[in-house]
Amino acid sequence: MVEDNSTFASEFFLLGLTSQEDLQVICFVLFLAIYVVSLVGNLGVITLIRIDSCLHTPMYFFLSHLSLLDACYSSTIIPQALLNFLVKRKAISFTRCAAQLFSFATCATAECYVLAAMAYDRYVAICNPLLYPVVMSRQLCIRMLVGAYLAGVLSSAIHTVSIFHLPFCHSRRINHFFCDGPPLLALSCSDAWLSGVVVSAVVGFNVLSTTVFILVSYWLVLSAVLQIHSIAGRHRAFSTCASHLVSVTLYYGSSLLMYMRPSSTATLDHDKVVSVLYAVVVPMLNPLIYSLRNAEMKKAIRKAQGRLLSFLVPSRRKTN
């Protein structure tokens, strides 16, 4: 692998998760299975919400876009990782690396704000149920969603420019399986302190602001639920939030573990393992969480299965 000493990097080399060939085959099979399940699950959720009129509510409107972001998340990272598991020269061009980082950061940031919007939806539904249709109007939902995507694009642009304006004049080897911020900053031959501060500030603002918003929303939800005297009423109120809480815990837990920890404990090998959790595994789990723990989604799945069977059975009879 030849590397020049020019300040402009025409390409990088991804070291991946492991250099052992037998483990790369295992990783390929595992990542491929996760990618298929993630795509089928997330696109299935989007389709189900689209075709079932009972799911045309603000909560499922946001859930469909959460699934879209998860599908984009997976498609930004996993195909390149699958290719690198099969080839010896794990090269990625400067432009593709920047595009991957930009797409990944956009989806990650937008997902933070979509999860926050879903928390606000649960707050309004439980604390102000009579005003819910008025407060959570379609116009407000669209504005919140557009705001989430704009925040994603703006934050990602700052994130990407802060890193890729740096000179890379030594090693081109990225100690990661995709183009992420910390391993790229580690390659710069100039003082990357300011860029690191900017990236940390942008990520920190997005994660912490949405975390605080979600915590405040659920604190108000908890206060309202505790005022319900019947146990059945409390259980019903909490059950509407269960799937979202699990999804938030997984996503923010892994994100905080990755970005909001002391630099003295940071290692790139550790970051790779954590990245697999929040960038590969969590997008696969979200549709499973909302499908298995949500009564309305289960009902919609059964209805879709019934429609499919009613479509297939007559066609079989005709062929006989």
Count each helix (H run) and each strand (E run) in the chain, helices first: 11, 3
Flag the least confident range among 167-176, 267-276, 287-296, 310-319: 310-319
Length of the chain: 320
Flag the least confident range among 145-149, 150-154, 225-229: 225-229
pLDDT digits (tens, 9 = 90+) for 5-17: 445 567 899 998 8
Query: Looking at the predicted structure, is the pLDDT value of residue 304 above 90?
Result: no
Task: Report percent pLDDT > 90 for the chain.
Answer: 54
pLDDT digits (tens, 9 = 90+) for 227-267: 888 888 788 878 888 889 999 998 888 877 766 565 554 56
User: What dihedral do alpha carbons 289, 295, 300, 302 form, nearest 10°?
Assistant: 100
Report the pLDDT value the prediction gives residue 230, as an integer from 0 to 100: 83
Q: Rounded to whole angstroms, how far apart are CA atoms 284 and 33?
A: 10
Q: Rounded to whole angstroms, how far apart are CA atoms 177 and 26?
A: 15
Do the Cβ atoms of 284 and 37 come closer than 8 Å? yes
pLDDT band at 313 (very low <50, low <70, confident <90, very high): confident
Strand pairing category for 91-93 and 173-174: unpaired
Helix (H, G, I), strand (E, B) or coil at 5: coil
CATH number of 17-319: 1.20.1070.10
φ, ψ dihedrals at 11, nearest 5°:
-160, 160
Residue type, 136: M
